[in-house]
Structure 1
Amino acid sequence: MGLAQAQQALTYQTPPKEIADLVNASPTPSVSFSRSGEFMMVLERSGNPSIEDLAQPELRLAGIRINPATNGPSRSGSFENVVIKNTRSGEERRINGLPENPRLGSFSLSNDEKFIALTNTTNTGIALWVVDLSTMEAKQLTQESVNGVGGVDMSWTPDNKIVYRAINPRRGNLPQAPLAPSGPTVQETSGNAAPSRTYQDLLTNAHDEDVFEYFMNSQLMILDLNGNATPVANPGLISNMNLSPDGKYIRINYVKKPFSYLVPVSAFPYDVEIWDIQGKKITTIAEIPLAEVRPTGFDAVSTGKRAISWRADKPATLVWVEAQDGGDGRVKMEDREIVYMQDAPFNSTPVVLAKIGYRFGGISWSDDNFALLSERWSATRQQRVSLINPSKPGQKGTVIIERSSDDIYNDPGSPVFTTNDFGRSVLLRKGDDVFMTSEGGSPQGSMPYLSAYNVKTKTERILWRSQAPFYERVTKVLNADATEFITLKESTDIQPNYWLVNTRRRIAPRQITQFAHPFESIKGINKQLVKYKRKDGLDLSAIVYTPEGYDPATDGPLPVVMWAYPREYKSAAVAAQVRGSQYTFTRLSWGSPIYWVTQGYAIMDQTEMPIVGEGDDEPNDFFLEQLVANAEAAIDYIASTGIGDRNRIGVGGHSYGAFMTANLLSHSDLFAAGIARSGAYNRTLTPFGFQYEQRTIWEAPEVYSNMSPFMHANKVKTPILLIHGEADNNSGTFPIQSERYYNALKGHGATTRLVFLPHESHGYAAKESILHTLWEQHEWLEKYVKNRQ
């Protein structure tokens, strides 16, 4: 046993140059299409922020992280430039007059697509800007008055004004913390069961409540293009607002007390009010109570009205759903939910649009005779889509799709949308044919396609499909019969770029963006989709990367980094399906294991780790044995090919993948080392469910105990590296999970190292943190895998 070491003071370190250069590569721009598809916005990003950026003051209140200096989110990406590019001609136009050192975001096109509204964030606030697309000139419309807490909220009116959520100019001064508390903090329950997930960043005392109110306090404003702003509706703690399609009404959600110390702001009580655009209150549609008390299970929902929204194809018609089973998925009912409609001026009796047997999943609108209603049921992974006739409310719809949501081989995909006269998204269809895009899952991997799905025959006609050796998918359809569209095309070593395709004219596709390859140094690495079997016959797959020019016959076996994330399934046949594509571009994110292909390792990425429980069996009842069987099959495969050295294989994962890693090291001796980032290791700290586990710890105590690596820390004989962000905001993965697990491992003499990253959340953002994380992983792999004694 080695000597136990106390904490170490360590400056940020940098991995080998080959890895660091890949991290520092210039990011590829993002693209956003206009609704008509006539042009695209090419949004240019800067690289990762510095640790100084992340170290700015931050408030963590009611599940929201706030930058008090800007009255906006403390952690949000931004863009430093935007270029307007014509999709057919490829002509580019640059915008003049943007601010210096811009941090741009929240881009929103006017309904006539003549203007772009956007925000610019400085160190002191958020301002609204507008771009005139006829002159390509940008100008600032407001002072730094935008309230970005919980996200920027703005909408265009039909006459090109902007409704946005501003800081309430009369909110007063920031509440100061008292020198001494006025009394204890007390929570009380009246005996009703109130199971709750383990949320981060919750309110903890009366001062937190006051500060939360201060930063949420908002006033809606109507702004013209000359910068004249007029308040509309009452100020308050506005969490969300949305204009009706005709622009005459505004739906506003006002958060109200009592606040909760158990759940985030999304579960706080709120009123849903309708105001007209002139600032007159029309009605209160709903008074939603605090959602602390609700049934358990992922199919549990709150009672009363929820999912209140506007019909996209009507001027001002509200739609919402109400559970009929008390929100409890364990109650057996045929008509579990009812969908209602109500037209302006919202004083008539709501109309029953539809009754459904699963949970409401949304409606895709077309016109008054055609809409697609989606339902889902998480416990069985079932998904159902029905054709309904909104002009005949209450009439039973026709089920056109019913499938497992996990079944990618039989997934017809998602509808394609177009824009109607209200500027809203509605179905693109031709009679009974709805145009759809699908990932195109197959035994050969994903081959995306565009189809016409006939709702009468329930069959699809494939109009276009990606062809090997490329991975190509439709991103924007440009005409009514879906014969002209834009695709995003890539291959293993070809950077994704946008192409204009026309199937009617039968002319060659034309490339319309020229984004450069950001990772030239790994352009020649080998990538293959591999398939193999688990000992019970279940088909598995992974993506294997090896160094450029590598040949196992002459070069011999390599050390291996295996990276994975377990998933639960209710069907063995579905679990065996091949996921992913061998033709996708090899893009490296901050958390990728592919960096180590530059260091002489083979990489098994996206290594399938299915956990199957069919019928009445729950997948997690078999978690450990199936997890180990998955790992054994992967190791047997990579060793049998001559690529991998069976004695030099490291395993790793992030979040639930970290949980997987710790369990594999507890219950097998298959690996040389493990890397576990931002995981949860003690399931008693997530007692009301986790991942896809819907049972509570009191209903399945053995499952919680058996699946908790903390309970089996005494069995770990393999070196394990633990990394965690100190400011992890993900439900269940509190930093204390790694802290206590490390303590348990150390207490039993395991070889382990715990690294806490200052200011980092569940995903790591600062360049220094990312480079240091890669250095930690590299040192661990070199010592315990590549050079294993």
Structure 2
Amino acid sequence: MNRVLRKLTLGLALFGFIWNPSLAQTTYQTPPQSISDLFNAQPTPSVSFNKDGSMMMILERAGAPSIEDLAQPELRIAGIRINPAISGQSRAGSFNNLKLKKTRSGEEIQIKGLPSNPKMSGFSLSQDEKYLAFTNTEATGISLWVVDLATYEAKKLTDPIVNQVFGNAVAWMPDNSILIKAANPSRGSMPKAPAAPVGPIVQETSGNAAPSRTYQDLLTNPYDEALFAYFMDSQLMNIKLDGSKSPVGKPGIIKSMDLSPDGTYLLVEIIQKPFSYLVPADRFPYHVEIWKSNGEKVKTLAEIPLDEVRPTGFDATVKGPRNISWRADKPATLYWAEALDGGDPKAKVTERDIVYTLNAPFSGEKQKLAATSLRFGGINWSDDSFAILNERWFASRTEKRLVINPSNPAQAPRVIIERSSDDIYTDPGDPVFTENEFGRNVLLRKGELIFMTSEGGSPEGSMPFLSTFNTTTKEQKILWRSQAPYYERVAKVMNADATEFITLKESTDIQPNYWLINTKKRIVPMQLTAFVHPYESIKGIKKELVTYKRKDGLSLSAIVYTPEGYDPAKDGRLPVLMWAYPREYKSAADAAQVRGSKYTFTRLSWGSPIYWVTRGYAIMDQTEMPIVGEGDQEPNDFFIEQLVANAEAAIDHIVEMGIGDRNRIAVGGHSYGAFMTANLLSHTNIFAAGIARSGAYNRTLTPFGFQYEQRTYWESPDVYFNMSPFSFAHQVKTPILLIHGEADNNSGTFPIQSERYYNALKGHGATTRLVFLPHESHGYAAKESVLHTLWEMDTWLEKYVKNRK
């Protein structure tokens, strides 16, 4: 077999999916018409706005790709999935049409001269908004295009030379030329696989602990290294609007490029050897260099070592500089964080991180800007007298926001917000931004007032709002709020006092559309888009946000859907599909909060359970499955008992409503929801069937942590054993359907998880079925794959739930 092909199919061969006579091959099936029609509905366009909101960009996309699209050659190396034919990522989304719409007049303009068979992405406006750039994926590569917004004509600027394997690849210069990351024109041909290995593959450690999560698609041999270096080999180029181009700086394995706000300098990250077989490319060693915009090197700011050895825990980080960025409010000033605790969250220190700045021309010494008591979480810039410093600590779910004075670092920061990140009822929201003279996002602010948008969590469900927040008094004043029976949120603030803004408004059976609102003039809101309802067949279904209590008194919630015209008193009880995803909390009060809204539009994704409302089922979606560990207690120490209590409470409630038939209830979930499903079937017999998609079932295969579990297997072996459905496969008496993408790239959910779990179930006589989807990742993409998944689920539900004997 060709060595390249062998690498491309390695994921199959490892787990016995090739040449295995014991596996049954079937053709792709399609679900009943009521389900397939919903899945095949035309996707709603995406919308974005220019700087002042006067123009809307409407991007249209086709439906799901075909399995032939997914079956194209693919390299899975260094945590990246590459299409070798195009020097780009193999699974990137794209759009097939571009329109512009004038916000106030409603005039819609079709852009002319677009590529034939377009696969467009990466749209960005020039700073003066006279031009719009985008990339287009062709059969042999990725080309750069530009739209003249005076004529609304698109034209191709380059051959397919753009390198989109990793990181950003396009940036506008102040003079309306475009900086791109191109495939190095001197890189030659793709390396050929050696006819025979030159020797064994060796890894060695010298005693330093290097705990690491279970990453997928890592480098495995020197040939992989050569392929990675080849496809990452890039040359920055300056492209003029007439198509002429010139190289900028030297080629290299360029990880990222970032232009300073004034366009004078470039921050360039260049990956270095040695590469790693333990971690993906974003943790390889790299140099951080400052260049002038013409490519002349000014300084090596930092040499970041290989990031293999890091303490355990979600609050752990690297030593040395990290998060190196440009200040948004300055022409060319860098800032970054460095850990004072060595990156170890277990270290007892007063200050965790220190934030430094360095001004152009970068010949001076770095200056301390601030220190944090928690882990640095970024800065929202305004001007040289005001910025918001963000800190966070995952272990306690604490987040803090502090006002700092960048011009006077000695001035003590002022804490304006300190709260639990899980507490949605008191969430003041996130700052509103506006663009400054450099085209960078800075805080929309009036003195001590900043503007905020929030999801608006409440016991009645989410009611988003727009507000001011006084950073001196900490008083929040709501300027506008979504009103029932709609779910409406601010998409774009149009003016300095936030009296005019654009919202995205929807309701249960009203497709989300954009509206222009002016609270100062109090004029009637103006509808800006009229996207049609894509799911006419389910417009009449009933949607209800329900709340109920667990046996320990904890409040829970779910969204219940029932078929159009259904009346429990007349029509009797229905089979139920319960769909959920567990979450861990450090506070019972936070866990009990109502999440979501009964007024959101009923939109169906590929993995939604709502399809089955057309088949006569009641659906319990977003069924809350909180796992709580207060104070020093870890949530997962109580995982099984609380998970079972959550499920029992949900079943009791749907039955008490007169809707659900207790003997015909299925449970299902995707990823951690699949893990949840398998655990429920291992420890209860309260369900008629289970559906588990792309899950992990043996936690010893993820020994350095999983989901939000920070302890390792060796620290808490009982937790890892007891939370593994694999450990209790002998107790499963309920039929369970396992589905998994054979190319799953999610950390921890290797396809072998489903294969080994299926074998364990089969060995103990359980009723089970295992379906592997060729070429599919953690989320399923191909039309054939999704329709077949829906068919598998429908067949399973009809047999073991609706028609259960």
2:337–2:354 contact (8 Å) kept in structure 1: yes
Equivalence for 1:173:
189
Deviation at 1:152? Answer: 4.2
Counterpart-to-counterpart distance in 1, 2:111 and 2:171: 22
Does residue 759 of structure 1 match 2:775?
yes
1:669-688 superposed matches below 5 A: 669-688=685-704
Instruction: Choose which of 768, 771, 777 in structure 1 pairs with 2:787.
Output: 771
Does residue 288 of structure 1 match 2:328?
no
1:308–1:318 contact (8 Å) kept in structure 2: yes
Equivalence for 2:449:
433
Counterpart-to-counterpart distance in 1, 2:540 and 2:516: 27
Q: Deviations over 1:611-664 (max 9, x none)?
A: 000000000000000000000000000001110000000000000000000000
Equivalence for 2:53:
37
Does residue 645 of structure 1 match 2:658?
no
Deviation at 1:493? Answer: 0.1
Aligned AA (2:97): N
Aligned AA (2:526): R
1:433–1:454 contact (8 Å) kept in structure 2: yes
Deviation at 1:36? Answer: 2.2
Does residue 723 of structure 1 match 2:739?
yes
Deviation at 1:787? Answer: 0.6
Instruction: Choose which of 365, 369, 374 in structure 2 pairs with 1:349.
Output: 365
Q: Deviations over 1:530-584 (max 9, x none)?
A: 0000000000000000000001011111000000000000000000000000000
Deviation at 1:16? Answer: 0.3
Equivalence for 1:535:
551
Does residue 212 of structure 1 match 2:222?
no
Segments of 5+ residues of structure 1 without an aligned counterpart are none
Counterpart-to-counterpart distance in 2, 1:395 and 1:704: 47
1:252-331 superposed matches below 5 A: 252-331=268-347
Equivalence for 1:782:
798
1:41–1:83 contact (8 Å) kept in structure 2: yes
Instruction: Choose which of 470, 485, 490 in structure 1 pairs with 2:486.
Output: 470
Counterpart-to-counterpart distance in 2, 1:138 and 1:609: 50
3-state DSSP of counterpart to 1:142: coil
Equivalence for 1:115:
131
Q: Deviations over 1:296-347 (max 9, x none)?
A: 0000000000000000000000000000001000011111100000000111
3-state DSSP of counterpart to 1:776: helix
Does residue 738 of structure 1 match 2:750?
no
Aligned AA (1:96): K
Does residue 334 of structure 1 match 2:337?
no
Counterpart-to-counterpart distance in 2, 1:471 and 1:292: 45
3-state DSSP of counterpart to 2:621: strand
Deviation at 1:233? Answer: 1.4
Equivalence for 1:224:
240
Deviation at 1:8? Answer: 2.1
Counterpart-to-counterpart distance in 2, 1:22 and 1:442: 32
1:146–1:152 contact (8 Å) kept in structure 2: no
1:352–1:394 contact (8 Å) kept in structure 2: no
Does residue 691 of structure 1 match 2:707?
yes
3-state DSSP of counterpart to 1:379: helix
Equivalence for 1:561:
577
- Which stretch shows the higher mean deviation, 12-21 or 167-176? 167-176
Aligned AA (1:623): F
Counterpart-to-counterpart distance in 2, 1:6 and 1:720: 20
3-state DSSP of counterpart to 1:79: coil
TM-score w.r.t. the length of structure 2 is: 0.97
Equivalence for 2:215:
199
Counterpart-to-counterpart distance in 2, 1:248 and 1:259: 32
Equivalence for 2:63:
47
- Which stretch shows the higher mean deviation, 387-396 or 259-268? 387-396
Equivalence for 1:360:
376
Q: Deviations over 1:341-396 (max 9, x none)?
A: 00001111111000001111110000000101100001011000000000002432
Deviation at 1:148? Answer: 0.7
Aligned AA (1:637): H
Deviation at 1:126? Answer: 0.2
Aligned AA (2:209): A
1:73–1:151 contact (8 Å) kept in structure 2: no
Aligned AA (1:464): W
Counterpart-to-counterpart distance in 2, 1:392 and 1:154: 35
Deviation at 1:279? Answer: 1.8
Does residue 60 of structure 1 match 2:76?
yes
Counterpart-to-counterpart distance in 1, 2:790 and 2:80: 29
Instruction: Choose which of 89, 93, 106 in structure 1 pairs with 2:109.
Output: 93
Instruction: Choose which of 476, 480, 484 in structure 1 pairs with 2:496.
Output: 480
3-state DSSP of counterpart to 2:96: strand
Counterpart-to-counterpart distance in 1, 2:55 and 2:376: 35
Deviation at 1:38? Answer: 1.6
Equivalence for 1:508:
524
2:486–2:506 contact (8 Å) kept in structure 1: yes
Aligned AA (1:595): Y
Q: Deviations over 1:491-547 (max 9, x none)?
A: 000000000000000001010001000000000000000000000000000000000
Does residue 668 of structure 1 match 2:705?
no
- Which stretch shows the higher mean deviation, 661-670 or 81-90? 81-90
Does residue 134 of structure 1 match 2:150?
yes
Counterpart-to-counterpart distance in 1, 2:378 and 2:106: 36
3-state DSSP of counterpart to 2:765: coil
Aligned AA (1:24): N
Aligned AA (2:537): S
Equivalence for 2:9:
none
Equivalence for 1:393:
409
Aligned AA (2:474): K
Equivalence for 2:206:
190
- Which stretch shows the higher mean deviation, 29-38 or 439-448? 29-38
Counterpart-to-counterpart distance in 2, 1:609 and 1:653: 12
Instruction: Choose which of 157, 175, 179 in structure 2 pairs with 1:163.
Output: 179
Instruction: Choose which of 647, 650, 658 in structure 2 pairs with 1:631.
Output: 647
Counterpart-to-counterpart distance in 2, 1:97 and 1:480: 37
Counterpart-to-counterpart distance in 2, 1:459 and 1:409: 16
2:168–2:256 contact (8 Å) kept in structure 1: no
1:572–1:612 contact (8 Å) kept in structure 2: yes
3-state DSSP of counterpart to 2:395: coil
Counterpart-to-counterpart distance in 2, 1:551 and 1:30: 37
Deviation at 1:6? Answer: 5.0
Aligned AA (1:272): V
3-state DSSP of counterpart to 1:554: helix
Equivalence for 1:749:
765
Deviation at 1:698? Answer: 0.4
Q: Deviations over 1:393-431 (max 9, x none)?
A: 243210000000111000000000000000100000111
Counterpart-to-counterpart distance in 2, 1:201 and 1:336: 33
Counterpart-to-counterpart distance in 1, 2:302 and 2:717: 39
Counterpart-to-counterpart distance in 2, 1:708 and 1:245: 50
Does residue 13 of structure 1 match 2:29?
yes
Cα 1:493/1:124, change in 2 over 3 Å: same
Equivalence for 2:506:
490
3-state DSSP of counterpart to 2:396: coil
Counterpart-to-counterpart distance in 1, 2:803 and 2:203: 55
Q: Deviations over 1:247-276 (max 9, x none)?
A: 000000000100000000010000000000
Q: How many residues align?
A: 785
Counterpart-to-counterpart distance in 2, 1:422 and 1:542: 45
Counterpart-to-counterpart distance in 2, 1:473 and 1:91: 24
Instruction: Choose which of 404, 408, 432 in structure 2 pairs with 1:416.
Output: 432
